[in-house]
Structure 1
Amino acid sequence: MNLKMKSLLIVALGVSTTLAGCAGGGGAEPAEQTAEAEGPAAEQPATEKPAAEAPKQEAVEPFTVSLRHIQIGEAQKFRKAILDDVVAATEAEIPGLAFELDGVEDQVNRFTKLPAEMAAGNPPVIFDLFGGTGDALKYAKAGRLLDLTPILDELGIRDKFLNLSQFTLDGKVYGLPIGGNTEGFYYNQTMFEQYGIAPPKTWEELEAAAETLKGNGVTPFAMGSKGAWVPLMMVNTMIGRYAGPDSINGFLSGQAKWNSPEVVAAFAKYKEWVDKGYFTKGELGLEYADMLNQFVTGKAGMMFDGSWRSSVFKDPAQAFDLTGKVGYFNMPAVPNGVGDQTYVNGNYGNGYGFSADLDDNERKAVKAFIKNLYNDDMQLRGLLEDGVLPSMKLSDEALSKVEDPIVKEVMNLMKNAGGAFSHFDSVVQSDVYKESEAQIQKLIAGQASPEEVGEALQKVQDAANAAQ
């Protein structure tokens, strides 16, 4: 019987005498009761009390929360699946909540839509956010981002993050990295075996591998430079090798100069590789996705990309015949490079930010979203399914579940590295980074020399530093 709708039945255990009655309880019958007392009256059917009314639930007012993400396209399908599950769990947890998802290409969100929304004071409630001086910290100073510190303390997860520096201002946290990443060379194992190439461990071996591939009609490095951030990945690591890992943060402090001989040497090496035909012909007209296509179709033997790409190479729908046949190695040490050459580029700069202007319902939704996304299960899932390095501390037991050979190699290389340096776009001001995009494309097109690139960047850097 439904206990929420009806009361329990009360069974008549006894009847009254002709003058007065006494109801029988749950125990034995009173001794003075006689057999006559067990007449027809005892056989009367049990009666029910009137059904109790169900408690009335207060009407829930529906509300929507906007969520801007960059998980679009086939290569992001694993991350999108994780996001969808987090959204569903959060909607189920918060009565009346419905998310409005807005998928936008990464660069469009970062450099076009979000800056305009921040200037107008109307960003989405939840949005993809890049950390560092030019993005998260700038918006935090302007009062546009929610201080997450109280929420993290309440959830007990503040100390679980590996690195929140790119989202922290004056001791307060204004964004959360969804994962970490590093960048290095992916290579076609079958092709390397075919041409007798071993995974390069030195700079000389790397350039010898490029020459061997080129000599066999294969582009050494897949590249798509229409989005300037793509070639700048490789340039950033070259700077870390030639000028040393401390140089990246040094641009902002003034301790490193874009026009220094060491940094110019990095631009010069990149230009040398362009002139030798090591990169995809027509790279300035090719997108990031085109670079991947060049690699997986065997038109290029190597590709410099982020660790986030690793999931592609276990998916036949994306990697085709190259599925399970891709290796990974770090950029080798450069001859006479400055500093510890075992350092890797390591970033915890991409994640989610939240609008500072929230009502009570939106704040509840944000808290639940953070709880459902930033936990051990989702961090491990991102690592196993998408190759995204965790931004939170995971146990050795959890990490032991990794089976993807590329991810295992990436984690091993990071474990044995002397340290990590960031990508300069998370450190320098927006004006400086925009200038770096313009200058690298000029360098590739032969419209600027390495020395001219360094001078142009240092001029903008000096102005940006003086304006702080």
Structure 2
Amino acid sequence: MKSKTAAGCVTLVVVLCMLAGCSIGSGLLTPAKSGLPSSDKTQHIKPFTVTLRHTQVKDQDRLRLRILEDVAAKLEEKVPGLKVELEGIEDKVNRFEKLPAEMAAGNPPKIFDLFGGADTRKYVKARRLLDLTPILEELGLQSKFSSLDEFTVDGHVYGLPTASFVEGVFYNKRIFRGLGVSVPQTWQELLDIASKAKEAGITPFAYASSDAWAINMMLNTLWVRTAGPESVEGFVDGSRKWTDPDVLDGFRRFELLVDKEYLQSGSLGRKYAQQHQTFRSGEAAMLFDGSWANASLLDPEQSRIMDDIGFFSFPSAGGKGDDLINGSHSNGYGFSSNLNDREYKAIVEFIKIMYSDEIQKRQLKESGILPAMKLTDMTGIHPIIGVLLEASKNKTFPAFDSIVQAKVRETLETSMQELLGRRLTAEQVLQRMQRVQEEANQELRRLP
């Protein structure tokens, strides 16, 4: 009687389970997969968040931010349970304040804006960066980048550039035609154009120096023109001095632009974005800047001179670096070495999306930013981009701040603000720079 009752109970359970959409397997009663709605299939996936730190926070960066938002949305679609938290921080604050503090504490974001060169080497030494070499091999991407040199340490890749850049002179073609001048080939021709613009009541160079880093773009090119690119490495290894005559030559040329009032008046009270505003409104003949300025200059909602923009490499100064252009692939993304399996998979998927032909082409077409990767389809691109890409094929040198110590960079920024305010001469700036460089080199030698 008991056995019949038990058998009947099992039969009843099986029938009820079948009616309820259950299955029996391995001695367990489980929900039948075929009977679940699609929404229920993922309801038990544990959500997780990955922070993506970017620096697209200024008005002129809004087109690039829009692309990054689309990348984040695609990433969430590809990775079940993932929520991407976009965290925007001003570039200098991220690079020189927030990220170094996070790296020291061992808690950087999972994805973050990273500068190549000295920054990358420092964080690799601290073991904070994910080695991307196996991921690039898995995805077959390594050969598709124009250059990974600034993110490579001991043969391993620890960051991926988001774009390439060159620095030089944007100019207003309409103003040049009105002045009866053409693209200058020499330093003296550049001075002649600046003089004519000033006489005509036109600002020769749009310029802003409240953001001190912006001062040193043109200056960096000037002293490399006169002293050669090896001068910067020489400052750090002690084989060259800031006070060397050929370095002083470049600084004196910059000082001449200040004395002649060829740089926009009141520059010490102007933020970097304001030099873009001056140039794209048609008030200035020239603007020395990086190719990333295209995000602002080619924005139809902001620029009045889209069809009149030209670009030329800084003219010859008769020195050791005349055939070079400041260009590099130093701005990119790094990734925390502290990842769980799901975060690692999200990183791989981010790289697949961000460094695809589609996104690199969008970045170039929509915001004018030169790609970090080799593209073959250039249809629909603004003509000035072709000029910039051609310029990037020249021999390049890296920005000085990717090589010298932070203390040296900071001293040059504040000292040049004093030069612009007529409180220091070029000679006094370089004497100070050499003292600080020697102190920084001694500290470097004391490091383990």
TM-score using structure 1 length: 0.84
> What's 1:369 paired with?
350
> What's 1:39 paired with?
none
- Correspondences of 1:27-106 after superposition (within 5 Å): 53-54=35-36, 57=41, 59-106=44-91
> What's 2:391 paired with?
413
The answer to whether the 8 A contact 1:313-1:325 is kept is: no
3-state SS, counterpart of residue 229 of structure 2: coil
3-state SS, counterpart of residue 62 of structure 2: helix
Deviates more, 1:454-463 or 1:180-189: 454-463
CA distance in 2, matches of 1:318, 1:254: 46
> What's 1:346 paired with?
327
> What's 2:319 paired with?
337
The answer to whether the 8 A contact 1:149-1:173 is kept is: yes
> What's 1:289 paired with?
273
CA distance in 2, matches of 1:316, 1:53: 53
CA RMSD, 1 decimal:
2.1
* Offset from partner CA, 1:73-112 (integer Å, 9 cap, x none): 3311221122111111111010000011111111111122
> What's 2:409 paired with?
433
CA distance in 1, matches of 2:411, 2:190: 29
> What's 2:29 paired with?
none
> What's 2:337 paired with?
356
> What's 2:176 paired with?
192
- Code of the aligned partner of 1:411: L
CA distance in 2, matches of 1:420, 1:388: 18
CA distance in 1, matches of 2:403, 2:286: 28
CA distance in 1, matches of 2:424, 2:413: 13
- Aligned equivalent of 1:141, options 116, 122, 125: 125
- Code of the aligned partner of 1:325: D
CA distance in 1, matches of 2:298, 2:158: 35
Q: Aligned pair count?
A: 412
> What's 1:424 paired with?
400
- Correspondences of 1:208-227 after superposition (within 5 Å): 208-227=192-211
The answer to whether the 8 A contact 1:167-1:176 is kept is: yes
* Offset from partner CA, 1:239-267 (integer Å, 9 cap, x none): 22011133233333333321111111111
Cα displacement (A) at 1:182: 0.4
CA distance in 1, matches of 2:280, 2:436: 38
> What's 2:223 paired with?
239
> What's 1:109 paired with?
94
> What's 2:294 paired with?
310
Structure 1 residues 65 and 250: CA distance shift in structure 2, 3 A:
same
- Aligned equivalent of 1:127, options 97, 112, 121: 112
The answer to whether the 8 A contact 2:227-2:320 is kept is: yes
Please say which structure displays the higher CA radius of gyration.
1
CA distance in 2, matches of 1:167, 1:257: 27
- Aligned equivalent of 2:303, options 319, 340, 351: 319
Cα displacement (A) at 1:177: 0.7
3-state SS, counterpart of residue 349 of structure 2: helix
> What's 2:436 paired with?
460
CA distance in 1, matches of 2:297, 2:412: 31
Structure 1 residues 74 and 448: CA distance shift in structure 2, 3 A:
same
> What's 1:161 paired with?
145
TM-score using structure 2 length: 0.87
- Code of the aligned partner of 2:54: H
The answer to whether the 8 A contact 1:402-1:408 is kept is: no
Cα displacement (A) at 1:202: 2.0
CA distance in 2, matches of 1:249, 1:163: 20
The answer to whether the 8 A contact 2:276-2:297 is kept is: no
Structure 1 residues 61 and 445: CA distance shift in structure 2, 3 A:
same
CA distance in 2, matches of 1:255, 1:404: 44
Tell whether 2:424 aligns with 1:448: yes
- Code of the aligned partner of 1:151: I
- Aligned equivalent of 2:252, options 258, 268, 286: 268
* Offset from partner CA, 1:199-258 (integer Å, 9 cap, x none): 222222111000001111122111110111111010111122011133233333333321
The answer to whether the 8 A contact 2:299-2:367 is kept is: no
| Residue identity (%) | 46
The answer to whether the 8 A contact 2:71-2:354 is kept is: yes
CA distance in 2, matches of 1:406, 1:381: 16
CA distance in 1, matches of 2:302, 2:239: 43
Spell out structure 1 runs of 4+ moving beyond 4 A: none
- Code of the aligned partner of 2:106: G
Cα displacement (A) at 1:298: 2.9
- Aligned equivalent of 2:362, options 377, 381, 388: 381
3-state SS, counterpart of residue 392 of structure 2: helix
* Offset from partner CA, 1:240-299 (integer Å, 9 cap, x none): 201113323333333332111111111111111111111111111110111111112233
- Code of the aligned partner of 2:342: N
Cα displacement (A) at 1:51: 11
CA distance in 2, matches of 1:142, 1:459: 28
Higher helix share: 2
Structure 1 residues 381 and 255: CA distance shift in structure 2, 3 A:
farther
- Aligned equivalent of 1:178, options 156, 162, 176: 162
Where does structure 2 lack aligned partners over 5 or more consecutive residues?
A: 1-31
The answer to whether the 8 A contact 1:245-1:420 is kept is: no
Cα displacement (A) at 1:402: 5.5
Structure 1 residues 51 and 178: CA distance shift in structure 2, 3 A:
closer
CA distance in 2, matches of 1:184, 1:52: 63
CA distance in 2, matches of 1:179, 1:445: 34
